[in-house]
Amino acid sequence: MLENSRSEQSVELSVKTLWWAGLIILPIMPLCLIMGFITDPNFKEFEGFVLIITIVAIFEVLVLVLVFLRRDVVKRFTADVSTRSLVFNEYWRGLRVVKRSYPFETINKFDLIFKNVPKGRYSHEIAKFLVLTFQSEKMKVFSSKLDQDNIESWGRQLNTLLQDQGGFPAENFAEPLEPHWPNRDQKSLKIVLLFLLISIITIGSILITLVLLEVI
């Protein structure tokens, strides 16, 4: 698990590095277009700007592809499907525990944010969902409007229930629970929106460059 954790951290670091590199270099394309129009209105010596725009556009596309591929790697590390995964439904009147054998990928943070959990598999009352992933002495909790005290209390109850079912030993739950609050998921949503913005600017710059090449 320690090796997986280190690998996950290194992957996340490389993703952030790619992301910031692409974001910093991105303004070069529109700046080249603006400078080209200002310095050469007749497009007679625009080839240099066109070359820069083309190179940056290719770089941005590669960054997008690599980042999305690396995010898949992060997902594989965090999911760790080979370990035991359980899904629990929490209702208004007390706590009901339902043991599931689905992989962790069947429900994720974006499902919780957009409330689009697959119908027929889970309760439609998504606001009351707790997704608990047990990975050898580590527990992650995805919650909506739950405080730390309630999470710890439910964790103790779940531990007792699991032991009654012949589940996991108590020492696996000795560590404090780690809540993942919705504001972290909102940051992920902002990253997705920024990716879309980069894609739009990249495609727009490529199209404008192609038009200018035709004009030249």
- For every residue of 14-74, DSSP letters joined together read HHHHHHHHHHHHTTHHHHHHHHHHHH-TT-TT-HHHHHHHHHHHHHHHHHHHHHHHHHHHH
pLDDT for residue 37: 65
pLDDT tens digits for 144-173? 444 445 555 555 555 554 444 444 333 333
Sign for the pseudo-dihedral over CA of 16, 19, 22, 24: negative
pLDDT for residue 149: 53
pLDDT tens digits for 79-134? 333 322 333 333 222 223 323 333 333 334 333 333 333 333 333 333 333 444 33
pLDDT for residue 15: 61
Report pTM: 0.31
Please report where in the chains the tokens 């012949």 appear, as a residue. Answer: 166
Look up residue 61 and give its amino acid. V
Per-state percent for the chain, helix, strand, coil, to nearest 5 = 65, 10, 25
Q: Which residues contact 201 (CB under 8 A, 6 or more apart)?
A: 26, 29, 30
Alpha-carbon distance values, 19 to 57, 108, 161, 175 (Å): 14, 22, 43, 33
pLDDT tens digits for 40-84? 666 566 666 677 777 777 777 777 666 666 554 444 333 333 322
Averaged pLDDT, 190-199: 68
